[in-house]
Structure 1
Amino acid sequence: MFETLLRRLLSPAPETLPQPDARLALAALLIRLARADGRYQGAEVSRIDAVLRARFGLGPFEAVRLRNEAETLEEEAPDTVRFTRALKEHVPYEDRLGVIEALWDVALADGSRDADEDGLIRLVAPLLGIEDADSGLARQRVEARSR
């Protein structure tokens, strides 16, 4: 089902992903983060759905459908380094910065910071071409909204 998307992500000649594929790939990255600590819980699932609704203008059922597809893609996707580097080639910088903010949103959904989730964001940010300072500012924006 996802072979075409994965082949496109991992191709040596990157091209911009069509919107549905980009949405699916970014949602899969959010799920990979939520699963990083071994606990994929209701608060994280709800936050992923909310992020998908807000980021892509989806209704509740569309967001759940996208998340369900992304859960399957996340299981089939290659290691995080290759998957994230592929996203960098296919997603504009502004959107990648938004991805980091969305990752922080999901990581902080349960009200606490987890070392595994923090570590994954620290790995992913530079692979997406995002500076540590920009990632830190994204985290601060999410924390400020959560108060």
Structure 2
Amino acid sequence: MFADFLRRLTTPDPAPLDRADARLALTALLVRVARSDGSYDAEEKDKIDRIIAARYDLSPFETADLRTRSESLEAEAPDTVRFTRAIKDAVPYDERIAVIEALWQVVLADGHREAEEDALLRLVSNLLGIPDLDSALARQRVEKR
């Protein structure tokens, strides 16, 4: 289903993603982090829905559709390293910082941090070209909300 999209995303020199594809890839990354602890529950899905609805100004139907498509993409996407590096090459830095904040929102959605989630978020931040300090500051901003 997403073979062409993934092929374009993981080419050695990917073109910048258009807005719709960037939404899909970044939402798939949210799903991947939410699934990283082996539990992908209603709280995490609700948090992802709220994040993408606000971030992209989507209706409830559009939100559900984007999350559903992103769940499918995440399941088909290559390993986290290649997938995240591909996003880094195709998405501007300022959008990647906002994604780190959104990822922290998902990690903290259930009220506690799991070691697997922390490890994956640290890896993802690094692969997205976000320094540890900026990721920590993003986490602190999320925790203050």
In the superposition, the TM-score normalised over structure 1's length comes to: 0.97
What number of residue pairs does the alignment pair up? 145
Tell me the distance in 2 between the aligned counterparts of 1:77 and 1:14.
Answer: 15
Q: Is the counterpart of residue 33 in structure 1 residue 33 in structure 2?
A: yes
Q: How much has 1:9 moved relative to structure 2?
A: 0.7
Q: CA RMSD in A?
A: 0.6
Q: Residue 22 of structure 2 corresponds to which residue in structure 1?
A: 22
> How far does residue 4 in structure 1 lie from its aligned partner after superposition?
1.7
Alignment gaps of 5+ in structure 2: none
CA distance in 1, matches of 2:118, 2:43: 17
Residue 102 of structure 1 is matched in structure 2 by: 102
Identity between Structure 1 and Structure 2 (%): 61
1:119 equivalent in structure 2: 119
Partner of 1:3: 3
Paired residue secondary structure (2:73): helix
Give the residue type in structure 2 aligned to 1:113.
R
d(CA) in 1 for partners of 2:64 and 2:118?
25
- 2:85 maps to a residue whose letter is R
Secondary structure of the corresponding residue to residue 16 of structure 2: coil
Deviations 1:108-134, CA, capped at 9 Å, x for gaps: 001111111111000000100000000
**Structure 1 gap segments, 5+ residues each:** none
Query: How far 1:43 moved relative to its partner?
Result: 0.6
Give how far 1:61 is off.
Answer: 1.2
User: Which residue pairs with 2:65 in the alignment?
Assistant: 65
Give 3-state SS (helix, strand or coil) of 2:78's partner.
coil
Aligned residue type for 2:143 = E
Separation in structure 1 between the aligned mates of residue 116 and residue 134 of structure 2, nearest angstrom: 20
TM-score normalised by L of structure 2? 0.98
- Counterpart of 1:18, as a letter, is D
- Number of the residue aligned with 1:48: 48
Structure 1 residue 29: Cα displacement: 0.4
- The one-letter amino acid of 1:110's match is D
Once residues 116 and 7 of structure 1 are traced to their aligned partners in structure 2, the CA distance between those partners, rounded to angstroms, is 28
Distance 2:92 2:125 in 1: 14
Name the residue aligned to 2:134: 134
Match of 1:93 in 2: 93
How much does 1:138 deviate?
A: 0.3
